[in-house]
Amino acid sequence: MVVVLDERMHTDVAWNRDVVQVNWLKRRRLVDMDEVEVGSASQVDVEHFCTQFLEDEDSFRQARKERVRCRILADSPIDQTAVDTLRRTFPGRVTDERR
């Protein structure tokens, strides 16, 4: 399960082969996830998502929190402040494909 923060994704949910992608920008709710994919998202949206993720009290998700990875897509226009927020939220687990 991949949570997507990307204004270019127009659907709530998409299936890409065997991967389910959930558009957080449309739903604004957390789901059980393995990865976060960041494309075109505002700093405010990144902050809101990260705060929601860090404060999540769901017992199943809490046990898995340390394993969730974050990937910044190669064409993502997010700024350094958003990248820093993601790195604090997912320490050592952020891959920035723009480099």
Residue 5: name the closest of 29, 28, 24, 30 by CA: 24
Instruction: Give CA–CA dist 94/69, Å, rounded.
Output: 6
Region 8-33 average pLDDT: 95
Nearest C-alpha neighbor of 76 from the set 89, 90, 86: 86
Banded pLDDT at 99 (limits 50, 70, 90): confident
- State both tokens at 78: 């997010």
Tens digit of pLDDT for each residue in 51-98? 999 999 999 999 999 999 999 999 999 999 999 999 999 999 999 999
Q: Residue 43 above 90 pLDDT? A: yes
Residue 36 has pLDDT above 90, yes or no: yes
Place of tokens 């891959």: 95
pLDDT at 16: 86
Instruction: Please provide the average confidence, as pLDDT, over all residues in the chain.
Output: 96
